[in-house]
Structure 1
Amino acid sequence: MTVTTIGIIGGGQLGRMLAIAASRLNFRTVVLEPQADCPAAQLANSQITASYSDPVALAELAAACDVVTYEFENVPVEAAEMLARNIPVYPPPKALEVAQDRLAEKRFLNSCGIPTARFHAIDNQRDLEAALADFGGSGVLKTRRLGYDGKGQRVFHSPDDNPAGAFEALGGVPLILESFVPFEREISIIAARGMDGTVACYDPAENVHRGGILDTSTVPARIIPETADAAREAATRLLDALAYVGIVGIEFFVLPDGSLVANEIAPRVHNSGHWTEAACVISQFEQHIRAITSLPLGDPARHSDCVMTNLIGDDILRLPDWLARRNTLVHLYGKTESRPGRKMGHVTELTSKAR
């Protein structure tokens, strides 16, 4: 497959960083995004300003590009499938279909032999009350579709938490109740699969969230080698099952015995993989571009230990402090307005790799 131009659906910071990586490898990029002057379009070669499901815009994107990818998992599956009838779309639309529905996601993970929290489908208030009784009155209630960074959720800590009205409060849409997992820490793994089936996994990162949003990712994670191996094996199994092409991010809970429980699949480049930009020769963004253009995957090994910190909202006011630090890479996203919960950039502090 000969590729000169890559289409990117979505115009946020992930699309921006994909456009940078594509440019370094001499590819042109076209962004489809309804918001004009979005972060990705500031650095892409051109932008189609239209809805993600606009058939005219999708036809224009297909005509302008040799391959299409996406920067977020809530791209309409129908739009991806429409494009895929005329042009390669990676990751495959099937990955979107799985990741967009938390119930389908859990069932798919289990079908791959990857453990998850226990769960129940919730389609009405009676379902919720029965599921809570099964879980001893506790659990995390989530919308099956949409919702990110902690949105679209309600937590029940004990039987004392009254579930009355909870189904309607979350919109009366299909929900999923997940059991609590007694985890010690959260990790994620970033992995890539090429068109030839080659898989490359980065080292797992240990993640800390603040207000439901990723705050820091630290590499190496404080896990035993067997846990890291299990994460790589799970990622490989999932990638092969989907005949995947591109980067995937998989979030896990680590239990006290070192075993893993999968939490979430992100069929795209992932926030917890931003550290690869500074601590690896080949970043997750370049790796994704390599995969979807049929180039050989790069070495995912890291040359440094690191901590990646998101700059969220007013964190951007600390920019002078970050810029003054040694061995620290600062990456801003081209956003002019700071507001609570908005990711404005990230910084990655490097230290010598432990022997």
Structure 2
Amino acid sequence: MKVKESSETKVAEKVIFPSSTIGVIGNSPNGIELVRKAKQMGFKVAAYGSNAESPTLREADLAIVGRGNDQLQLQKFAERCDLVIYESEQVSSESIKFIQRFTNVPQGSEALELMQDRLLERAFFEQINVNIAPYSTIVSLDDIYQAISSIGFPCVLKPIQKGLMHNSQFILRKQSDVAKCAELVEQGTFVLESWVPYEREISIVMVREQSGTMRFLAPLETFYQVHHLNQVVGPAKVADQIWDELKNIASQIGDNLNYVGVMEIGFFLTQSQAIYVKRIVPALHESGYIYQYISNVSLEEEQIRAAVNMPVVTSKVIQQAAIGFFQEKDQQSIKTQWVLKDNWFYHFFRYPASMLPQSKSGFVAITADDGYEAKGQLDSTGIWDEKQPTEEKSED
């Protein structure tokens, strides 16, 4: 007679212990931090990416080089891993679906697939009844003319696939701008989205455990320039009732996604305190680098803990800070601050020449009694003034 397994035994079977192999797939700076943290926690690490010189692959115990659609190499990678973590939202959801045939991917592929396609993403938001900007599907120039009557000006034309056609977002401010989109819409399917007159952008970062429990970290305020994340302040100053509503929306989203690990949800907040969901990142996001300066946790460790079914650390704020991302052309200005500031902390991504150019070379973190005061220190240098990034890759 087979003995009935206890719930404790079932949970224990799902736990991944040190000396097991964790796979990390992707090429962003998140990867090397994940690899380092996993090794520190006693795991062996295999890494998969398209460039043998990637810092992530060089840091791993086992490096497997292959393109995102190289099924032979993906299978080889997956079969060497007890589980796989994708380190950014840029990893192909099709690659993750293939890997799932051979090993466990706690994050799953569903959330990644939804959030890489703007139409699927918006359909998901509508299904769970969260507030988003009005939009319309565009396949021809006539569709834009028809949609304008309900969406109005200003509005933004975006390709449905995130990460593709990097220069293809276009803001329409008046009727004559529509004709300028003629060549653009011939390249594929787009969404035309109403411009939300937001006053602030607030991000919630949460960790969803395998049990479905969600742990919230301190809110962040994010500042973008030309679709690129420029600065982050944490913790964000948010009224209690707004914070409670943001957590409610985030919980609703988390409950409806088959996802385990760190997730960031971005919100627009208008002057009248109306809340719009901007985007979901079902992976580590660069805004989360600030947590190592303001709290007792690192997102990399939280991601690993959730994936291997360890208890997730309860996050506590220990100080306030701001971070500012810099580019290669800012290096001389950064050197000036290097010899002047005793509360500036520097993080360089150190890409090899074969992976350049990149939109960001690293970031500076400033700790202070008030995170917005720290942002003021960044602003006073002029390094983070409005400017055109070196690479036009949209973050949404």
Deviation at 1:254, TM superposition (A): 0.5
For 1:267 and 1:258, the matched residues in 2 are separated by 26
Is 1:334 matched with 2:350? yes
Equivalent residue letter for 1:92: G
For 1:207 and 1:148, the matched residues in 2 are separated by 23
Could you say which residue in structure 1 is the equivalent of 2:363?
Answer: 346
Equivalences, count: 353
Deviation at 1:335, TM superposition (A): 1.5
Structure whose residues are more often helix by fraction: 2
For 1:315 and 1:5, the matched residues in 2 are separated by 39
CA contact (8 A) 1:224 1:258 kept: no
Deviation at 1:170, TM superposition (A): 5.0
Q: 1:13 to 1:148 in 2, by over 3 A?
A: farther
Equivalent residue of 1:208, what SS?
strand
Which digits, 9 at most, give the CA deviation of each residue in 1:204-261, with x for residues without a partner?
1111112221110011223312222222222222112113101111111111122310
Equivalent residue of 1:275, what SS?
helix
Equivalent residue of 2:56, what SS?
coil
Q: 1:52 to 1:237 in 2, by over 3 A?
A: same
Deviation at 1:353, TM superposition (A): 6.3
- TM-score after normalising by structure 1: 0.92
For 2:245 and 2:302, the matched residues in 1 are separated by 22
Equivalent residue letter for 2:58: Q
Alignment of 1:10-89 (within 5 A): 10-89=26-105
Which stretch shifts more, 225-234 or 31-40? Answer: 225-234
CA contact (8 A) 1:12 1:39 kept: no
Structure 2 gaps, min length 5: 1-13, 372-396
Deviation at 1:26, TM superposition (A): 1.6
Equivalent residue of 1:48, what SS?
strand
Is 1:111 matched with 2:148? no
Q: 1:311 to 1:42 in 2, by over 3 A?
A: farther
For 2:21 and 2:125, the matched residues in 1 are separated by 33
For 2:192 and 2:322, the matched residues in 1 are separated by 33
For 1:38 and 1:32, the matched residues in 2 are separated by 10
Q: 1:151 to 1:73 in 2, by over 3 A?
A: farther
Deviation at 1:332, TM superposition (A): 1.5
CA contact (8 A) 2:262 2:299 kept: yes
For 2:56 and 2:137, the matched residues in 1 are separated by 37
Alignment of 1:168-247 (within 5 A): 168-169=183-184, 172-247=187-262
Alignment of 1:74-153 (within 5 A): 74-147=90-163, 151-153=167-169
CA contact (8 A) 1:96 1:267 kept: yes
For 2:358 and 2:269, the matched residues in 1 are separated by 26
Deviation at 1:141, TM superposition (A): 0.4
CA contact (8 A) 2:57 2:64 kept: no
CA contact (8 A) 2:208 2:254 kept: yes
For 1:352 and 1:195, the matched residues in 2 are separated by 36
Deviation at 1:156, TM superposition (A): 0.6
For 1:171 and 1:31, the matched residues in 2 are separated by 38
Which stretch shifts more, 8-17 or 311-320? Answer: 311-320
For 1:116 and 1:305, the matched residues in 2 are separated by 30
Could you say which residue in structure 1 is the equivalent of 2:267?
Answer: 252
Could you say which residue in structure 2 is the equivalent of 1:286?
Answer: 301
Equivalent residue of 1:41, what SS?
helix
For 1:270 and 1:322, the matched residues in 2 are separated by 26
For 2:165 and 2:299, the matched residues in 1 are separated by 21
For 1:115 and 1:74, the matched residues in 2 are separated by 25
Could you say which residue in structure 2 is the equivalent of 1:164?
Answer: 179
For 1:321 and 1:17, the matched residues in 2 are separated by 27
Which digits, 9 at most, give the CA deviation of each residue in 1:172-194, with x for residues without a partner?
21100110111111111111101
Could you say which residue in structure 2 is the equivalent of 1:307?
Answer: 322
Deviation at 1:149, TM superposition (A): 11
Which stretch shifts more, 270-279 or 40-49? Answer: 40-49
For 1:92 and 1:51, the matched residues in 2 are separated by 20
Identity rate of aligned residues, in percent? 27
CA contact (8 A) 1:191 1:247 kept: yes
For 2:106 and 2:186, the matched residues in 1 are separated by 32
For 2:92 and 2:358, the matched residues in 1 are separated by 24
CA contact (8 A) 1:143 1:153 kept: yes
Query: What CA RMSD, in Å, does the superposition of the two structures yield over aligned residues?
Result: 2.2
For 2:186 and 2:90, the matched residues in 1 are separated by 18
CA contact (8 A) 1:312 1:340 kept: no
Equivalent residue letter for 1:48: I
For 1:200 and 1:167, the matched residues in 2 are separated by 46
